[in-house]
């Protein structure tokens, strides 16, 4: 399938070509025709599936065809984090660069003054986080009465992050007649209720259940004592083929400590977490994206929505206590069909977390023992009986409680990257 076969207009096709997109992802194939028909959409998809383009492209096309650029906000895209808001804004800029549609982004944690000034020039599409949007509405800088298109992105994260009340306040201000696109990776009851109240006869599209994302990513676990994790990280990073790596810690303090340790070793590293200013986070993210920063250390909240093309490695310096978080973390690599490698450091206190993770993903993760810091009990935490690769279940429904070992174990003594990756 091509984008042209989805009946997209020339200005958008041209922009997608410049982005290097050749084939629509499954969510794009399913969602674009539905949205172009004017139907409401319930999308069950997580970041990394191409969902931003799945809603942005048809919205841009519908709005372009209306030919009323400029003065009234006709589309509102609500998203939980500033990073996601910025990314959606940038994507809309890229896909819509040959249209005359205007778009703006507003989010909290920074001065509202430039945002208010930008809004004065008029915008067709507004990308917003809920708190800042409500602030600017209350001050009279934003009016939602002309909204025709409403996108609620990552609805379940809105709930997790305590924004659901704000979302409901925004929803109450929208006109009754509109087209709504509702995205959520999971459907807890409160989110299902919200979707029911918002959507009119929606078409449901669903891709990549959370646990199957993990299957295309090579995963290894290193059993190590807590106090040896810094030395292990330094050891792993001796592999020059790991050029761009996102390291996850559970706490902000932990993130800062890892950065300090790496800097002592002359490894370029920076942390992004809630205590960093928005500017510092943006600087770190840009440096990471352009390759001047080798290691980005992040907490889970800060990493939400971080989108780095071609990220090859994720390291779980600490395992998350919520197994779904593991899948979200490693899903930062292996984007849009690319392959990726996820290395996890597991100390004795984290073994229970590993068990939960393996149960969720349906795999027993390979143990890498070829490092100088292997802890005494370095045997696999087996949640599943091993089955050969070709019998690996592709979908959770096929699982029957069996999983497999992931790729060949210890195929490489010191190199934690695949052979195809050459050092710069
Ligand atoms: P998203 O799920 O919206 O966060 O998108 C994940 C990543 O996939 C982003 O880096 C997009 O630029 C990229 N992407 C989206 N659609 C396509 C496509 N059809 N072909 C190639 N890359 C894509």
3-state secondary structure the chain: CCCHHHCCCHHHHHHHHHHCCCCCCHHHHHHHHHHHCCCCEEEECCCCCCHHHHHHHHHHHHHHHHCCCCCCCCEEEECCCHHHHHHHHHHHHHHCCCCCCCEEEECCCCCCHHHHHHHHCCCCEEEECHHHHHHHHHCCCCCCCCCCEEEECCHHHHHHCCCHHHHHHHHHCCCCCCEEEEECCCCCHHHHHHHHHHCCCCEEEECCCHHHHHHHEEEEEEEECHHHHHHHHHHHCCCCCCCCEEEECCCHHHHHHHHHHHHHCCCCEEEECCCCCHHHHHHHHHHHHCCCCCEEEECHHHHCCCCCCCCCEEEECCCCCCHHHHHHHHCCCCHHHCCEEEEEEECHHHHHHHHHHHHHHCEECEECCCCCCECCCCCCCCCCCCCCHHHCCCCHHHCCCCCEECCCCCCCCCCCCCCCCCCC
Q: Same domain, yes or no, for 182 and 225?
A: no
Decide which of 192, 208, 224 is a domain's last residue.
208
pLDDT recorded at residue 202? 95
pLDDT at 303: 75
For ligand 1, say whether the CB of 79 is within 6 Å of any of its atoms.
no
pLDDT above 80 (res 132): yes
Residue 254 lies in a domain: yes
Judge if 193 and 224 occupy the same domain. no
Indicate if ligand 1 lies below 6 Å from the C-beta of 307: yes
State in Å: Cα 129 to ligand 1 middle. Answer: 21
Contact 258, 271 (CB under 8 A): yes
Does residue 163 belong to any structural domain of this protein? yes
User: Quick check: CB of 405 below 6 Å from ligand 1?
Assistant: no
**Same domain, residue pair 159 and 216:** no
- Ligand 1 contact, 25 CB (< 6 A): yes
Please state, in angstroms and as integers, the Cα–Cα distance from residue 137 to each residue in 76, 88, 140, 141, 166, following that order. 13, 21, 5, 6, 12
Q: Is residue 403 part of a domain?
A: yes
Q: Is residue 424 part of a domain?
A: no
How many distinct structural domains can be found in the chain?
2
Report the nearest atom of ligand 1 relative to the CA of 23. Answer: 19
Is the minimum distance from the CB of 336 to ligand 1 under 6 angstroms? yes
Q: Within a domain: residue 390?
A: yes
At 47 the pLDDT is: 73
The dihedrals phi and psi of 250, each to the nearest 5 degrees, come to -80, -30
Measured over the CA atoms of residue 194, residue 196, residue 197 and residue 202, the dihedral's sign is positive
Cβ of 335 closer than 6 Å to ligand 1, yes or no, is yes
- CB count, 10 Å around CB of 377? 9
Identify whether residues 83 and 204 lie together within a single domain: yes
Choosing from 173, 208, 243, the residue where a domain stops is 208
Q: In the prediction, which pLDDT does 105 show?
A: 98
Residue 216: band (very low, low, confident or very high) from pLDDT cuts 50, 70, 90: confident
Phi, psi of 210 (to 5 degrees): -50, -40
Q: What is the pLDDT of residues 1-25, one digit of tens each?
A: 899 999 999 999 999 999 888 888 8
Question: Domain check: are 240 and 321 in the same one?
Answer: yes
The answer on 158 and 88 residing in a single domain is yes
Domain check: are 53 and 196 in the same one?
A: yes
CATH number at residue 121: 3.40.50.300
Q: What is the pLDDT of residue 421?
A: 33
Q: Is the CB of 48 under 6 A from ligand 1?
A: yes
Residues 56 and 182 in one domain: yes
Q: Are residues 306 and 339 in the same domain?
A: yes
Q: Residue 295 C-alpha to ligand 1 middle, in angstroms?
A: 22
**For residues 315 and 232, is the Cβ–Cβ distance under 8 A?**
no
Last residue of a domain, one of 208, 240, 268: 208
- Asked if residue 423 is part of any domain, the answer here is no
User: Across all residues in the chain, what is the average pLDDT?
Assistant: 84
| Residue 284, φ and ψ in degrees, nearest 5 | -65, -45
Q: Which of 241-250, 321-330, 399-408 has the highest average model confidence (pLDDT)?
A: 241-250
How far, in Å, from the CA of 394 to the mean position of ligand 1? 22
In a shared domain, residues 252 and 389:
yes
Q: Range of 318's domain?
A: 211-418
Residues 371-393, mean pLDDT to the nearest whole number? 53
Same domain, 57 and 181: yes
Cα 252 to averaged position of ligand 1 atoms, centre (Å): 29
Q: What is the pLDDT of residue 394?
A: 33
What percent of the chain is modeled with pLDDT above 70? 83
Pair (168, 92) in one structural domain:
yes
């Amino acid at each position: 399938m091509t984008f042209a076969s989805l009946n997209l207009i020339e200005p958008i096709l041209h922009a997608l070509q410049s982005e290097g997109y050749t084939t629509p992802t499954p969510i794009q194939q399913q969602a674009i025709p539905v949205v172009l028909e004017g139907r409401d959409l319930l999308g069950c998809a997580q970041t990394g599936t191409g969902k931003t383009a799945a809603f942005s492209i048809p919205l841009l096309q519908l709005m372009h065809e209306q030919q009323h650029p400029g003065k009234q906000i006709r589309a509102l895209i609500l998203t939980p984090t500033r990073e996601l808001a910025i990314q959606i804004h940038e994507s809309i800029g890229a896909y819509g660069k040959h249209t005359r549609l205007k778009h703006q982004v507003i989010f909290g944690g920074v001065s509202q003054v430039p945002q208010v000034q930008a809004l004065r020039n008029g915008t067709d599409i507004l990308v917003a986080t809920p708190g800042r949007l409500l602030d600017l509405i209350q001050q009279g800088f934003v009016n939602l009465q002309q909204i025709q298109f409403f996108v609620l992105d990552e609805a379940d994260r809105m709930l997790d992050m305590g924004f659901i009340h704000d979302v409901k306040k925004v929803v109450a201000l929208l006109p009754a007649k509109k087209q709504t696109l509702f995205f959520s990776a999971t459907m807890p009851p409160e989110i299902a209720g919200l979707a029911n109240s918002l959507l009119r006869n929606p078409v449901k599209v669903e891709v990549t259940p959370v646990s199957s994302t993990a299957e295309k990513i090579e995963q290894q676990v290193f059993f190590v004592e807590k106090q040896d994790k810094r030395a292990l990280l330094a050891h792993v990073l001796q592999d020059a083929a790991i050029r761009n790596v996102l390291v996850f810690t559970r706490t902000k303090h932990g993130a800062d400590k890892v950065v300090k340790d790496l800097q002592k070793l002359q490894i370029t590293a920076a942390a992004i977490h809630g205590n960093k200013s928005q500017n510092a986070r943006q600087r770190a993210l840009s440096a990471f994206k352009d390759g001047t920063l080798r290691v980005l250390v992040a907490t889970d909240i800060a990493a939400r929505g971080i989108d780095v093309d071609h990220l090859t490695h994720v390291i779980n310096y600490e395992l998350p206590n919520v197994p779904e978080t593991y899948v979200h973390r490693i899903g930062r690599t292996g984007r849009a069909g690319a392959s990726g490698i996820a290395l996890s450091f597991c100390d004795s206190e984290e073994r229970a977390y590993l068990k939960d993770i393996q149960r969720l993903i349906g795999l027993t993760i390979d143990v890498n023992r070829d490092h100088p810091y292997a802890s005494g009990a370095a045997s696999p935490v087996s949640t599943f009986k091993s089955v050969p690769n070709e019998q690996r279940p592709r979908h959770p429904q096929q699982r029957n409680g069996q999983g497999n070992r992931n790729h060949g174990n210890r195929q490489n003594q010191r190199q934690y990257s695949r052979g195809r990756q050459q050092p710069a």
